[in-house]
Amino acid sequence: MEINCVFNFWDNFFAIIGIVVSSIVAFWIYKLSKQLSAKEKYQHEIKITEEIRKLKLYSSVILADVSKYHPLRTDVINKTYYKQGAELYTIIPEYGVQFILRPSDENIPVGLVPFEWIEYVRNYDSEDNKLIIGCKFKGIKWYKNFKSPFREINYIYKNPDYKENSDPSFMMFTTIKPNSSNIDKK
């Protein structure tokens, strides 16, 4: 019995190229099949909006990383997941939810979390008696080079013309810096 092993480089090379290309196409189709349709995105946005609207503006919330946080976790000392405290600022339809972060001086950072990055909203857990928003921490780097759940961070300022008992609460902050040249000096 004779075994003939003749190696034909070009036949094997084209076979390997064909396997690599078909693997890339299969992976691409798999990724496309996992994307949400427009209807599913809209339904997810409505669900998240309804759950967050139960809160008052400027309520404290906890943003938890869904890749590390499990609602039925047994670790009570926070070594297995990342979280970030914030305050609810506003909901922007079709874009996401804005949260007020820890202010520094007069600059108040406001981060935008897209609806697609928010997985679920939970009332509270055993450690924090605040609303827990499970979201993907794949945004810009924010604090100590850790990824944050924010796609972008903008700044707002306290409105110097805000009157405590007569103006609505949304007028408490403004996007115009109080000492800027946009204000007419009289």
Per-residue pLDDT tens over the stretch 105-124 = 667 888 899 998 998 888 87
What is the pTM (predicted TM-score) of this model?
Answer: 0.67
In this predicted structure, what is the pLDDT of residue 126? 66
Q: Is the pLDDT of residue 142 over 70?
A: no
In this predicted structure, what is the pLDDT of residue 110? 86
The answer for residues whose C-beta is within 8 angstroms of residue 126's C-beta and 6 or more apart is 76
In this predicted structure, what is the pLDDT of residue 130? 82
Q: Is the pLDDT of residue 30 over 70?
A: yes
Round to whole Å and give the CA distance between 13 and 147: 42
Q: What is the mean pLDDT of residues 63-87?
A: 70
**Confidence category of residue 152, pLDDT binned at 50, 70, 90:** confident
Other Cβ atoms within 10 Å of 55 Cβ, number: 15
Q: What is the mean pLDDT of residues 39-57?
A: 87
If one compares 3 and 42, the residue with the highest pLDDT of the two is 42
Helix (H, G, I), strand (E, B) or coil at 10: helix
In this predicted structure, what is the pLDDT of residue 21? 94
Beta strand segments in 46-185, E: 60-65, 83-92, 96-100, 108-114, 118-122, 131-135, 152-158, 173-174
